[in-house]
Amino acid sequence: MYDKVMESVRYIEEKINLKPEIGVILGSGLGNLTDTLENKQYLDYKDIPNFPQSTVKGHQGRLVFGLLNGVKVLFMQGRFHYYEGYSMKEVTYPVYVMKMLGIKNLIVTNACGGINTSFEPGTLMLINDFINLMGTNPLIGENDERFGPRFPDMSEPYDLKLIEKARDAASELGIDCKEGVYAGFMGPYYETASEIVMIGRMGADAVGMSTVPETIVANYLGMKVLGIACITNMATGIQTVKHSHERVVEIAQKASVKLCSLVTKIIETI
Ligand code: HPA
């Protein structure tokens, strides 16, 4: 794994003459966050040695490098989901690459379902903790100490200072931003009503099918993580209409205007 990651890193460093300081993983429908980047440079996943490929509609598969208000940023346009059939190591592969490219701060975004009834579609939620309900995790297997410790601490998976910065940025922009716990479910089906009752009782405010693996690996690698969830629908049983991926993407695209100004502002302060 280490050698594979380093091969990807060497390829990227050969092609791209910008050393990113911050990484951003974009969720469903949030891909246009890269619109405001300057001096953009692209690398398709398919061209990067050892990189997995994306298969979901609404997810492009490329890395976008550029400047956001002068800060060097790497955006991942299209992520890998466990439900697509990738292994957990593949799902989190780009996080290893980001770390080895020198990135210390990672912003993870996603589209997800709201469980907390004070939320509504379009609400942004700063993630303050996660519950891993994916039935596995990306650190299973032999450990390579060059990456991180065998038993990583997970007491602050989302960096409290970054959350504070995000909170301040939101209030400066007049964006109403909630905070809460994200439960990662395996997917790809939208949960049953009873599963949502269960997850809600566990303490989750939102549920989705991503983010948790990347957060675990980023913490393992010693990176600081900020998670921003976009509530695209209320979860099963709370919302009475049936779910549709098209609707999820549509709401995410609408909310991405807010998310874009928030992420830009946060990046200025990191
Ligand atoms: N559940 C899980 N994942 C999701 C949802 C949901 O309701 N909405 C968007 N992604």
Q: What residues form DSSP beta bridges with 233?
A: 113
Is domain 2-269 given the CATH code 3.40.50.1580 in the classification? yes
Instruction: Judge whether residue 82 has pLDDT over 60.
Output: yes
Cα 234 from chain centre: 19
Give residue 139's pLDDT. 98
pTM of the model: 0.95
Task: Check if the beta carbon of residue 79 is closer than 8 Å to that of residue 164.
Answer: no
Per the structure block, which two tokens stand in for 133? 């309900």
158-212, pLDDT tens digit by residue? 999 999 999 999 999 999 999 999 999 999 999 999 999 999 999 999 999 999 9
Q: What residues form DSSP beta bridges with 136?
A: none
- Residues in the chain, overall count: 270
Atom number in ligand 1 closest to CA 243:
7
65-81, pLDDT tens digit by residue? 999 989 999 999 988 99
User: Whose alpha carbon is nearest atom 10 of ligand 1?
Assistant: 112
Instruction: Judge whether residue 59 has pLDDT over 60.
Output: no
**Residue 187 burial class via C-beta count within 10 angstroms: exposed 0-12, middle 13-18, buried 19 and up:** middle
Atom number in ligand 1 closest to CA 110:
10
Looking at every residue in the chain, the average pLDDT score rounds to 94
Domain boundaries, the chain: 2-269
DSSP E strand boundaries for 22-116: 22-26, 38-44, 62-68, 71-77, 105-114
108-152, pLDDT tens digit by residue? 999 999 999 999 999 999 999 999 999 999 999 999 999 999 999
Average pLDDT over residues 3-20: 96
The answer, yes or no, to whether the previous bond of 94 is cis (omega within 30 of 0) is no
Give residue 225's pLDDT. 98
Strands 124-133 and 224-234, sheet pairing: antiparallel
Within 6 A (CB) of ligand 1 lie 111-113, 185, 190-191, 207-209, 232-233, 235, 243, 248
Residue 64: closest CA among 86, 95, 32, 92: 32
| Confidence band of 55 (pLDDT split at 50, 70, 90) | low
Residues annotated as catalytic are 28, 59, 81, 83-84, 111, 209-210, 233, 245
User: Whose alpha carbon is nearest atom 9 of ligand 1?
Assistant: 112
